[in-house]
Structure 1
Amino acid sequence: MKRILIIANNDVGLYKFRKELITELTKENEVYLLLPYGKNVDKLIALGAKFIDCPYLERRGTNPFKDMRLMLYFRKNIRKLKPDVILTYTIKPNIYGGYAARLCKIPYIVNVTGLGTALENEGILQKITSLMYKVALKDAKKIFFQNQANQDFMLDRKIIDKSNSYEIIPGSGVNLQEYQVKPYPKQEQVKFAFVSRIMKQKGIDQYLAAAKYIKKKYPETEFHIYGFCEEEYQGVLNKLHAEKVINYHGMVQDMQSVYQKISCLIHPTYYPEGMSNVLLEACASGRPIITTDRPGCREIVDDGVNGFVVAEQNSKDLTDKIEQFLHLNLSQREKMGVAARKKVEREFDRQIIVSKYLTEIQNIR
C-alpha cells in the first residue's frame, strides 16, 4: 500500500476527468487530495479519498508573494503527510507542487494539461514561466503530455531534455461507459452546439458570426450554446437569444442529454488546449465535430471522416464547413457520428490513461 497525494487546482476537473483513476488508486492505496474546496469534493471523498483544503491556490493570479505562500503550504503538507508519490495537474500545482516535492525528496508525476496563455504567448511572462517549469520538472519521475505539440514546445525551449522521462497520453481520455452512443437525430433539421466557457479564445466570436450568416440562409438551422458566460459576452448572448439567432442555455450538468439532442458539436477554439474533453465526449456520444487545426483538437478529428477541420480565428472557413455539413444527407451525418465513436474507442479510452498511471506508480519504490 502506498500513500498517494494528488495536487490539483479545482475539484470539477479532478472529479469529471480523473475519478476513474482515483477509484482505482483507493482500492489498494491511501489517497489524499490537496486542492481548494468545491462542490465535487464530497463526491471525491465518497470514492475513498481524503481531502486537504488548499485556500491559497488562485488559478490565474500572478502575485509572487501569494505563489510563494502556496509553495510553502504545499511543502508543509507534504512534510506532514510523507507521501510515497505525488501526482500534479495543471500549471500551478505542476510548478509549485514540483518545487515542494523536490525539496522534500518525494517522487512526483506531472501531467501537462495544456500550456496555458502564460507559455503560449511570446513575452517576458513566457520566459519566466519556462524557467520556473524547467526547475519544477527537473526531478519528475514522469511527465505526461496530452499532445505532441506541447511536448515539442518544452523540448524546443529546453524546458525538458532527453534526461527527463516523458510520454504522450491521449489527453484525459473519455469514459466510454458514461458517454455511450446516442441514436442520431432522425429529423432533417440540424442542431449545432458550442459547449465551453464563453470567452474569446474559445472561438465564440467565430461561432456567433457563423450563426448569424447561416440563420439568414438556412433559417431552420439551430445554434445552441452551453457554458458559463464571462461578463463581456452576456449582453451579446442575451441580444442574439432574443433575436432567435442562438439558444443560450447557461451551465448544464447533464451533458449526455445535450449530446443526444444535437447533430454536430462546433469547437472553434484557439485556446492552448491539452486535449479537448468536449470533443472527446461528443465523439463518444456518436456526434460529428467541427473544430480548429490546433493542438488538442486536430488529434481528435479526421477531416471529412468524423467531422471537419477549420482554420483558427477564421469565421468564413467555419461558415463554409458548416454549410458543407448542412449539404450532407442524414445518412452521411450519421456515418460521421459512427466514425467519431470508433475513433475514441480506438485511441481515447480513459482506461488507457488509468493503466499508464498505475504502471508508473507501481514502478516507484
Structure 2
Amino acid sequence: MAKILILANNDVGLFKFRKELIEELVKENEVFISLPFGDYIPKLQELGCKFINTPVSRKGTNPITDLKLLLNYRKIIKNTRPDVVLTYTIKPNVYGGIACKMNSVPFLANITGLGTAVENGGILQKITLLMYKISLKKANCVFFQNKENQQFLKDKLAIKNHRLLPGSGVNLLHFSFMEYPPPDVIRFLFIARVMKEKGIDQYLDAAEYIKRKYPDTEFHILGALEGSYEIKLKEMQAKGIIQYHGLQSDVRKFHKFSHCTVHPTYYPEGMSNVLLESSSCGRPVITTNRSGCREIVNEGVNGYFVEQENSQDLIKKIEAFLRLNHEKKIQMGLAGRKKVEEEFDRQIVVDAYINKINSIIQKTNLT
C-alpha cells in the first residue's frame, strides 16, 4: 500500500473538486491530507483520508508565517514518508514543492491559477516566479488548467514536465442536465465570492438597469461576502433589485430555476468551476473573455462574452440574451452541456492523476 500526501489550502475546494480523485486513491493507498480544519474535513475523513491540521494563510505574505509553513511541510513529509505528494494552489505548490525537493520526494503540482501577485506584475510577481522556479524545478509533473497559464510559466521558468488538464473537470452525474425552466420570469445567477475581482460591481450595475427596464427578471447572488458589500446588498435587496442567498453548500437547487449564469470575473483563476457546473446543468452563461472562462464558451452558441470590468457591455449582453426566444435559450443550454461532456468530464482529470501516480510508484518499486 503506497502513501499519498495531499497539500491544499482549504477543505471546500479539496472536497468539491478532488473528491472523485480521492475516492479512487483511497481504494489502494493510504491517503493523508494536510490543510486547515474546516466544515468539510469530516466528509474527507469519511472518504478514508487521514487529516493533518495545517494552518495556511491563503492571502498573507508574511515571510515568518511562510517559513513556518515550509518547516511544517518538511516535518509532515518526514513523519508520513509519502511515496507521492500532490499539491494544489500557490502556497502548497511553492512551499510543499520546496519541502519535497529537500526530502527527495516525488510530487505533482497543480496550477489552479496564477493569482493576483503574478497577474499584477511588479516586485511581488518577481518574488512569486522565483519561488515557483525553485519549487517546480523537481516536480514530476506540473498540471495546468489553461493554456495561457501553461505558456506563461513555460516561458518564464522553462518547466519541462507539464500537462494541460480541463481545469478540475466537472462531475457530469452530480451536475446532471436539468429541464429548462418556463419563461414567465427570467432568472440570472451570480455564483462566486462576493468580491470586486469576481465582477460583483458589474453584476449589480446590470441588475439595477435591467430590473428597471425588464420587470419580469430576477437577479440572484450566491456566495460568501469578501469586502464591504454587505450594506449595498441589503439596500438593493430591500428595493427588490437582487436576492442574496449567502454561501450555499449545494447550488443545484438554484440552477433548477435559473435561466442563465452571469460570471463577469476578472480574478486570475485556472478554470472556472462555476461555468463548468452551470453548463453541465444545461444553463447558458455570460462571462468575461479571459483565460479560464473563454475555454468553456463558444460565443453565441452556449453563451456570450463581455469585456472585463465593463458594466455597459454586460448590460448589452444580458439584453441580447433576453431578446432570444425560449427555444433558442434551451438550445444554448444544450450546447453547453454537450461541450462539457466532450471536453470537461472530471474523469479525464482523475485518469491523468492515477496514471502519473502509478508511474511514479512503479518506478520507485523498481529502484
Specify the TM-score bucket, using the shorter chain as the normaliser: over 0.9
Q: Distance in 2 between matches of 1:134 and 1:307?
A: 37
Match runs of 1:250-265 below 5 Å: 250-265=246-261
1:81 CA drift (Å)? 1.1
Is structure 2 residue 10 aligned with structure 1 residue 10?
yes
**Aligned equivalents of 2:70 and 2:207: distance in 1?**
45
**Is 1:52 paired with 2:48?**
no
- Counterpart position of 1:31: 31
Matched, 1:90 2:92: no
- Give unmatched runs, 5+ long, in structure 1: none
- Conserved 8 A contact 1:188-1:330: no
What is the CA deviation profile of residues 133-164 of structure 1, one whole-angstrom value per residue up to 9, with x for unaligned ones? 010000000000000011111123x2233xx2
Q: Which residue of 1 aligns with 2:114?
A: 115
- Whole-Å separation in 1 of the counterparts to 2:279 and 2:317: 18
- For residue 187 of structure 1, what is the aligned residue in structure 2? 183
Partner of 1:21: 21
Q: Deviations over 1:194-247 (max 9, x none)?
A: 010000000011111111111111111111111111241111111111111111
- Identify the residue that residue 294 of structure 2 maps to in structure 1: 298
Inter-partner Cα distance in structure 2 for 1:180 and 1:26: 25
Q: TM-score, normalised by structure 2?
A: 0.97
Q: Which amino acid aligns with 1:29?
A: N
Shift of 1:34: 0.7
Name the CA distance, whole Å, in 2 between partners of 1:209 and 1:70: 41
- Corresponding residue SS for 2:294: coil
Contact 2:166 2:344 in 1 (8 A): yes
In 1, Cα distance between equivalents of 2:134 and 2:101: 9
Question: Are 2:195 and 2:227, in contact at CA under 8 Å, matched by a contact in 1?
Answer: no
Q: Which segment is superposed worse, 259-268 or 206-215?
A: 206-215
Listed one character per residue, the Cα deviations across residues 102-152 of structure 1 (whole Å, up to 9, x for unaligned) are 000000000000001011111101100010001000000000000001111
Within the candidate set 332, 344, 347, 1:336 is matched to: 332
**Corresponding pairs, count:** 361
- Other-structure match for 1:245: 241
SS of structure 2 residue aligned to 1:192 = strand
Q: Equivalents in 2 of 1:144, 1:353: separation in Å?
A: 10
1:61 CA displacement: 1.1
Q: Retained in 2: the 8 A contact 1:33–1:49?
A: yes
1:357 and 2:353 correspond: yes
Whole-Å separation in 1 of the counterparts to 2:250 and 2:32: 28
Could you say which residue in structure 1 is the equivalent of 2:226? 230
Aligned pair 1:167/2:166, yes or no? no
Partner SS state of residue 27, structure 1 = coil
Aligned-partner SS, 1:12 = helix
Counterpart amino acid of residue 114 in structure 1: G
Alignment partner, residue 65 of structure 1: 64
User: Helix, strand or coil: the match of 1:83?
Assistant: coil
Aligned with 1:130: secondary structure? helix
Q: Aligned residue for 1:324? A: 320
Cα deviations by residue, 1:79-122 (Å, 9 ceiling, x for unpaired):
11111000000000000000000000000000000001011111
In the alignment, what sits opposite 1:105? Answer: 104
- Give the match's secondary structure for 2:143: strand
> Per the alignment, in what secondary structure is the counterpart of residue 299 of structure 1?
helix
Distance in 2 (alpha carbons) for counterparts of 1:62 and 1:225? 30
Identity of aligned residues (%): 56
Q: Does structure 2 retain, via aligned residues, the 8 Å contact 1:137–1:160? A: no
Alpha-carbon displacement from aligned partner over 1:26-69 (angstroms, at most 9, x marks no partner): 001111111111111111111111111113x1111111011001
Does 1:286 find its partner at 2:282? yes
Q: Which moved more, 1:193-202 or 1:209-218?
A: 209-218
Question: Aligned partner of 2:206: which letter?
Answer: A
Aligned partners of 2:307 and 2:163: how far apart in 1? Answer: 28
Q: Quote the residue 1:77 is aligned against.
A: 76
* Separation (CA, whole Å) in 1 of partners of 2:199 and 2:152: 23
For the pair 1:199 / 2:198, whether they are aligned, the reply is no
Distance in 2 separating the partners of 1:135 and 1:160: 12
Q: State the SS of the aligned residue for 1:21.
A: helix
Q: Return 5+ residue gaps in structure 2 as ranges.
A: none
* Secondary structure in structure 2 of the residue aligned to 1:303: coil
Q: Counterparts of 1:131 and 1:209 in 2: how far apart (Å)?
A: 39
Deviation at 1:187, TM superposition (A): 2.6
Aligned-CA RMSD value = 0.8
Taking the aligned partners of 2:85 and 2:121, their CA distance within structure 1 comes to 31
Mapped to 2, the partners of 1:115 and 1:330 lie a distance apart of: 39
In structure 2, distance between residues paired with 1:226 and 1:267: 12
Deviation digits for residues 6-26 of structure 1 (CA, Å, limit 9, x no counterpart) = 000011000000010000000
Cα deviation digits, residues 231-268 of structure 1 (max 9, x gap): 41111111111111111111122211011110000000
